[in-house]
Amino acid sequence: MLLVLGELYAELTHSDEACLDVVLGGPLMRQALAARSAGVRTRVLGRVGRDAYGRAIKRLGQEHGLEWSLQEDADRPTSLLLAGEVPVAYRAADAHLSPPPESFFEGGRVLHAGAWIFGMDPARTVAVEVFREGLHQGLELSLDLRTARWALRTELAEVLRPFLPLAYMKTDADTLEALELRPGELFQWANTVLLFTEGKVRRMTLLAESDHKRPRTRAADEVYGRFLAGVARGEESGAALEQALRTARARGKAKDA
């Protein structure tokens, strides 16, 4: 089973056809849905408000077979991300994540989180405790590293220090530039890194690097979710990535047809 921990929000963008386009859940949700679509049991821990966005996120997960460990906040709304040239995040319910029940970890093999959830308390403390318990239970830890949620690289590194190197990490060129990370430094962060750049995905390990053609569609979250599904099934990371990319390309061709 894949366990997913992190931010859940509604992403609002301007649209030519309507006042706003709304995308529910965020990257972690897209990755969880992709993993579930790949046939792996996927359990998600997150927190939303008791509002229309929260209800819609909950319903979306249920319709696609996610196993929710979902908390509903009666006092705070679902978090929002206003997309644009400079995205603005309004942290609300998800920043107040509470510890999960012990049953959250049952059956887990891989524990995946987004960097955002480590950004502020009380959710940061809970996320650290969940990672610590996951490590104690022998789970492989994964992180989606997104720099837009972080002001200081040193703060993120300090929070994650007890868990480094992680088993897996997803990142991109913009994140490396913003955090002033060199590609070679990524081995201090994870044993296997998927670096998404324009036109390709670079799989990096301590001993080797390999480039793979990226699907034409912006499918990074789908690819990584399916990649995690593969490693949760026990596949070697290279084989899991190849299968994830094949599926993304096939889905892209089907949409174009």
pLDDT confidence band for 90 (50 / 70 / 90): confident
Is the predicted pLDDT of residue 174 greater than 90, yes or no? Answer: no
Higher pLDDT, 244 or 154: 244
Specify the 3-state DSSP secondary structure of 192.
strand
Provide mean pLDDT across the span 32-55. 97
Domains of the chain in start order, with CATH, are 2-256 (3.40.1190.20)
Percent of the chain whose pLDDT exceeds 90: 67
Look at residue 257 in the predicted model and tell me its pLDDT: 46
Confidence grade of residue 80 (pLDDT, cut at 50, 70, 90): very high
pLDDT at 200: 93
- Count CA atoms closer than 13 A to 217's CA, side-chain side: 16
Looking at mean pLDDT, say which of 73-77, 144-148, 199-203 comes out highest.
73-77
